Homo-oligomer: A and B are copies of this chain.
Amino acid sequence: MSKNSPGNFFEDFRIGEVIRHATPRTVTVGDVALYTGLFGARFAVQSSDAFAEAIGYPRSPVDDLLVFHIIFGKTVPDVSLNAVANLGYAGCYFRTPVYPGDTLSAQSEVIGLKENSSRKTGIVYVRTTGYNQDLKPVLEYVRWVMVNKRDEAAPAPGDHVPRLPTVLDPKVLGEACPPIDVVDYDLALAGSKAKFGDYDVGEKIDHVVGYTVEEAEHMIATRLYQNTARIHFNQFTEGNGRFGRRLIYGGHVISLARAISFNGLANAFHVAAINGGRHVAPLFAGGTIFAWSEVLAKSELPGRTDVGALRLRTIATRDRPCDDFPAKTGDEYDPSVLLDLDYWVLMPR
């Protein structure tokens, strides 16, 4: 019986297979503090129990992206230890708030498989669900990754590409947000007067701030999520690898962009869903991250008058301020672009 795990290769997956992931994880105020130290986000709902209680939460919920990273981390040993590339996300939405003391676990269903023409790799699609200790789903998303085959000659384990939503329906966006008492939502304490009604579709916002990333920071963050992807931690091996350096977990860029976006989106207190995202280029330590956002759409939530949803596109760049909103020219991204993220946030109305 082999004791150490080499991870799954493409031919090990089967459509319909359900994988229960190790390790369940109790999220605590300790995790929240370290996440604050690493990213410095200032959203009042996640920072202050008193603020959260005033508007209708039982206490401060755990940052949505910290929940995402913890759930994502659990899937790595089973899904992407032998991945060549993380290709995309879809249909990600938050379903129950997570509070300190909750225990998170995850399972994934294989919903698609497609061998590449080289026969050396294939694409695996999984739908992952995160649960709390009461087995209530807290988060759900699809991701697809290109995974190596162990043996080029092995037959493809299936051939099915699932249909995926390009954008989440506003009717699911409020699931992880309790009714908000808008009257007691203190805009001065929250850091901005701009509410849902003050944003226009097409509006672009430069988030101004730049954050330089150190090796110790991204490794501490990624270990906090118990994400074991080797490429982030091992300079000995990566020094001789594709980039010559440790590659920073893509989710680190998402969290940095979210923290930076406070300057312009201070009342976007809840990331309700991620429609899709692309890691356009890798990030390495020493790079300085900037970000800007565009309002792609606005939506009311069925049956709710307390909060509304903004669909945002946030672009993060490396070593390039975003006052002129760098993105694409034709099909070509500006060479500074790291991340192109499409997501829904909730704001008080």
Residues on A lying within 8 angstroms of B by beta carbon are: 1, 3-6, 20, 22-26, 28-34, 36-40, 42-44, 47-51, 60, 77, 101, 103, 105, 133, 188-194, 198-199, 203, 205-212, 214-217, 219-224, 226, 228, 230, 233-237, 246, 263-266, 286, 288, 290, 319-321
Which residues on B sit within 8 Å (CB–CB) of A233?
209-212
Q: Which of B5, B235, B321 contacts A288 (CB 8 A)?
A: B235
* Residues on B with beta carbons closer than 8 Å to the beta carbon of A265: 3
A128 to B36, CA, bound (A): 23
CB of A329, distance to nearest CB on chain B (Å):
22
Cα–Cα distance between A49 and B24 once the two chains are bound (Å): 9
Q: Is the interface of A mostly helix, strand, loop or mixed?
A: mixed
B230 touching A219, Cβ below 8 Å: no
Query: Contacts A3-B265, A39-B223 hold; do A51 and B24 have CB atoms under 8 A apart?
Result: yes
Query: Do A5 and B263 touch (CB < 8 A)?
Result: yes
Given A30-B32, A189-B23, A190-B22, are A209 and B228 neighbors across the interface (CB < 8 Å)?
yes
Contact B234 A209 (CB under 8 A): yes
Contacts of A6 in B (CB 8 A): 208
Instruction: Decide if B36 touches A33 in the complex (CB within 8 Å).
Output: no
Contacts of A33 in B (CB 8 A): 28, 30-31, 33-34, 224
Q: Which residues of B contact A219 (CB under 8 A)?
A: 212, 214, 217
Contact among B23, B30, B216 with A190 in the assembled complex (CB-CB below 8 Å)? B23
**Given B37, B230, B321, which contacts A210 in the complex, CB threshold below 8 Å?**
B230
List 15 A-B residue pairs with CB atoms under 8 Å apart, sorted by A's residue number.
A22-B188, A26-B50, A28-B30, A30-B31, A38-B220, A40-B228, A50-B133, A105-B189, A209-B230, A212-B219, A212-B233, A214-B214, A236-B320, A236-B321, A237-B288
Chain B residue at minimum C-beta to C-beta distance from A5: B263
Indicate which residue in B22, B101, B237 contacts A189 across the interface (CB closer than 8 Å).
B22
Bound CA span A210–B216, Å: 15
Bound form: Cα–Cα A211–B222 in Å: 12
| B23 in contact with A28 (CB, 8 Å) | no
Instruction: Give Cα distance in the complex from A349 to B220, angstroms.
Output: 34
Which residues of chain B come closer than 8 Å to A209, judged between CB atoms? 228, 230, 233-234
Closest B residue by C-beta to A6? B208
